[in-house]
Amino acid sequence: MNFLMTAAPLAMLMCGLSQESSNLGIQWHVIAMYAPSFFTGRLITRFGAPRVVMAGLALTGLSAAVGLLGVDVAHFWLTLILLGLGWNFGFVGASALVLACHRPEERTRVQSFNDFIVFGTVAFGSFLSGGLLTAYGWNTVLWLSFVPLVVAVVALARAPAGRSSSAQG
C-alpha cells in the first residue's frame, strides 16, 4: 500500500495535475484507510479474517488496475481511495490472523515483531517507489505493486485452515 501511496502524489504532479488535487487525493486516501475501522472488526467476526484480508488484497489490486486506466484526477483519486480501503481490510485482518495463531502470553511480542517487520518494509517501499517512479514512471510502479499482491494471495490461500473461530473464514 505504502509503495503506491508514496508515489501517487508525486505521479500526479509529474502528470501536470495540481498540488491541491494531490492533497485532496491523499486526504481521501487517509479517510479510506481509517474510517472503515469502525466496522472492520465486525466484518472479521462475521466473515473471518482470511476473507477480510482477501477482500483487502482484491481492493488493493483493483486500485492498481484503476491507476493503469488513466492519469487524470479521477483515476488517481479512485486509486488512492481503493488503496486506503484495501489497506484497512488487509492490515486489520492480517493483524487478527497473526494474533489468532499465538497463545495470549505470546501475543504482545508477536504483534511487536510483526509491526517491526511491516513498518520496516513500509519504509523500504517508500524509498523504492520514489526512485522507481522517477526512473521508470507511474505505470511501472503500478505493475510492480502486483508482485507482492500475488505473493500475499498465494500465501493466504496456502495457509493452514486451523485458526481460532474469530479468525476463521
Q: How many domains does the chain have?
A: 1
Q: What is the pLDDT of residue 166?
A: 47
Task: Decide if 88 is inside a domain.
Answer: yes
Grid coordinates given for 122: 513500509
Q: Span 47-71, mean pLDDT? A: 97
What digits encode the pLDDT tens for the residues 114-166?
889 988 988 888 889 989 999 999 999 999 999 999 999 999 999 887 544 44
**DSSP for residue 105:** G
**Domain, as residue range, for 23:** 2-158
d(Cα 51, Cα 57) in Å, to the nearest integer? 10
Task: Decide if 168 is inside a domain.
Answer: no
Q: What is the pLDDT of residue 111?
A: 84
Q: What is the pLDDT of residue 34?
A: 97
Task: Decide if 139 is inside a domain.
Answer: yes
Task: Decide if 27 is inside a domain.
Answer: yes
Task: Decide if 167 is inside a domain.
Answer: no
Task: Decide if 105 is inside a domain.
Answer: yes
Q: Span 68-77, mean pLDDT? A: 97
Task: Provide the whole-model pTM.
Answer: 0.89
CATH code, domain carrying 57: 1.20.1250.20
Grid coordinates given for 135: 526512473
Grid coordinates given for 66: 484503476
Task: Decide if 165 is inside a domain.
Answer: no
What's at 38, amino acid-wise?
F
Higher pLDDT, 167 or 15: 15
Least confident of 10-24, 53-67, 102-116, 151-165: 151-165
Strand locations in 57-156 (E): none
Task: Decide if 169 is inside a domain.
Answer: no
Average pLDDT, the chain: 91
Q: Span 32-50, mean pLDDT? A: 96
Q: Span 33-44, mean pLDDT? A: 97
